[in-house]
Amino acid sequence: MADSDQIAIATAEGCWLTTTTGQRLFDGVASLWCNVHGHRHPKMNAAIREQLDRVAHITTLGMSADITDLLAERLVAITPGDLSHVFFSSDGSSGVEAALKMALQYWHQRAAATGATSPSPKTRYLALSSAYHGDTTGAVSLGGIKYFHQLFAPIVFTPVRGPLPCSYRLPEGVRPETACDHYADEIETLLKQHHGELAAVVMEPLVQGAAGLITHPAGLLARVRELCDRYEVLMIVDEVATGFGRTGRMFACDHEGVTPDILCLGKGITGGYLPMAATVARPHVYEAFLGDSSERKQLYHGHTFGGNPLAAAAAIASLDLFAETQLVASIDRKAEVLRSSLDRIANHPHVGDMRGRGLMVGIELVEDRDSKTPFPSERLLGRKVCERATELGAWVRPLGDVVVMIPPLVANDEELQFLGSTVSRAIEEVLAELG
């Protein structure tokens, strides 16, 4: 807080925020990667108001709300493959926690049912390097980002740590064409060694957001799916950031025809209006928990506000808008508009990489482009660029020296060009001051 920027927002409309001092800012990170249809969308607002006239909150423990049941059906209809059972919670981290417990208890109950070694030894998880799955303790255990996670090592569990499947900095001897095989082989080596103790592989699909929009080689997600099947380990895919159109498909999994055993959704689920997350499971997972109460097979896990009806109403309105506006089909073209607006800095000597998928774009600033050498982190260049962009009217936040652009999906061409040209100008100005 000692050097906080002290921006406070008074109102917002569409993709624009107005501060208490009257500055208008383009919402370049979609209010933390979750706004979809813009702020104060009339249909979103109306759906929430209408639900408010029915019921604001009831519990989903021992009962449910009609609107929440409807949302579950709508999610089942659009999520990949046979994902068909929905557990609601109130934020992405909690959605991941629920998935972790489901996976462990799944193997426990399967072992009991099949007479395999009981209790099951499958109590660990494989997570990727630089993973980010949220800030609660279980999610932090999976996490691999030094500044966020390292300090808490004494109070968390230790996952089996996989590679960072980065497409920009490839290991010695690995070429872009062989990168997918290389990383898949590394994951397979770990699965060979650890599958007997692994409940699940947990990963963000295609793009590791908080790691700095690290973009995986195409095909890796499908390879991990095959490996999880071969080594009998559940696959948990965390689409909290990538879900709901962000990457150009409704879900990132759709790019590679992958159906995870458990899918975690959050952020964009309510269009970015109200807190909600969902953990969606396939039938085999659900059925392992099915039995009358005396069997004590249920997942003893529930959150007070899980499935909140106002959030459910917002989520349904958001899905209706996705359908009405064919938003997902427009994302590839919009991404192209944003990318072209960055052309003028593509060859800048300190722009190392421009990457991402769909409307999830990161620019990594480096000291030396050829060797991909980062700037010393204490120079805070990413932060300085974002501060300059904010002065120029586009609110963006860095991840280290990666300047992140994750606008609301509804942003139009002109707004995307404004975002791209403002960030380009901020980069040029801040880096010119370096001399």
Among 187, 240, 381, 419, binds ligand PLP (CB under 6 A): 240
- Residue 401 contacts ligand PLP per CB under 6 A: no
Do residues 43 and 321 touch, judged by C-beta distance below 8 A?
yes
Site for ligand PLP in 326-385 (CB under 6 A): none
CB of 264 to ligand PLP, least distance (A): 7
CB of 345 to ligand PLP, least distance (A): 26
H or E element in which residue 85 lies? strand 85-89
User: Toward ligand PLP, which CB reaches closer, 240 or 419?
Assistant: 240
Stretch that binds ligand PLP, among 126-134, 141-149, 177-185, 349-357 (CB under 6 A): 126-134
- Residue 274 contacts ligand PLP per CB under 6 A: no
Backbone φ/ψ region at 399: left (φ over 0), alpha (ψ -120 to 50), beta = beta
What amino acid is encoded at 321 in this protein? L
Report the distance separating Cα 233 and Cα 227, nearest Å.
Answer: 8
User: Toward ligand PLP, which CB reaches closer, 278 or 366?
Assistant: 278
- Residue 159 contacts ligand PLP per CB under 6 A: no
Report the distance separating Cα 158 and Cα 429, nearest Å.
Answer: 43
Number of residues that bind ligand PLP (CB under 6 A): 15
Q: What are the φ/ψ torsions at residue 361 (nearest 5 degrees)?
A: -125, 135
User: Toward ligand PLP, which CB reaches closer, 96 or 128?
Assistant: 96
User: Toward ligand PLP, which CB reaches closer, 106 or 132?
Assistant: 132
First-last CA distance in the chain: 30
User: Toward ligand PLP, which CB reaches closer, 133 or 350?
Assistant: 133
Query: How far, rounded to the nearest angstrom, does the alpha carbon of residue 295 sit from its chain's CA centroid?
Result: 35
268 labelled as ligand-binding?
no
Helix 327-340 × helix 309-325 angle, to 10°: 70
Do residues 218 and 180 touch, judged by C-beta distance below 8 A?
yes
The total of other beta-carbon atoms located within 10 Å of residue 160's CB is 17
The total of other beta-carbon atoms located within 10 Å of residue 36's CB is 24
Among 85, 108, 133, 216, binds ligand PLP (CB under 6 A): 133
92 labelled as ligand-binding?
yes
Report the distance separating Cα 275 and Cα 272, nearest Å.
Answer: 8
168 labelled as ligand-binding?
no
Mask: binding to ligand PLP, 296-335, rule CB under 6 A, as x and -? Answer: ----------------------------------------
User: Toward ligand PLP, which CB reaches closer, 135 or 429?
Assistant: 135
Query: Which residues have a Cβ under 8 Å from the Cβ of 349 and sit 6 or more positions away?
Result: 369
Site for ligand PLP in 162-221 (CB under 6 A): 204, 209-210
Q: Provide the 3-class DSSP secondary structure of residue 138.
A: helix
Report the distance separating Cα 225 and Cα 116, nearest Å.
Answer: 24
User: Toward ligand PLP, which CB reaches closer, 94 or 390?
Assistant: 94
Stretch that binds ligand PLP, among 46-54, 87-95, 357-365, 380-388 (CB under 6 A): 87-95
- Residue 93 contacts ligand PLP per CB under 6 A: yes
DSSP strand pairing (398-399 vs 394-395): unpaired
CB of 144 to ligand PLP, least distance (A): 12
Query: To 5 degrees, how large is the angle CA 75–CA 79–CA 84?
Result: 70
Stretch that binds ligand PLP, among 13-21, 41-49, 59-67, 91-99 (CB under 6 A): 91-99
Do residues 265 and 277 touch, judged by C-beta distance below 8 A?
yes
302 labelled as ligand-binding?
yes
Binding residues for substrate: 132, 267, 302, 397
Which residues of this chain interact with ligand PLP, rule CB under 6 A? 91-93, 96, 132-134, 204, 209-210, 238, 240-241, 266-267
Binding residues: 92-93, 132, 238, 267, 302-304, 397
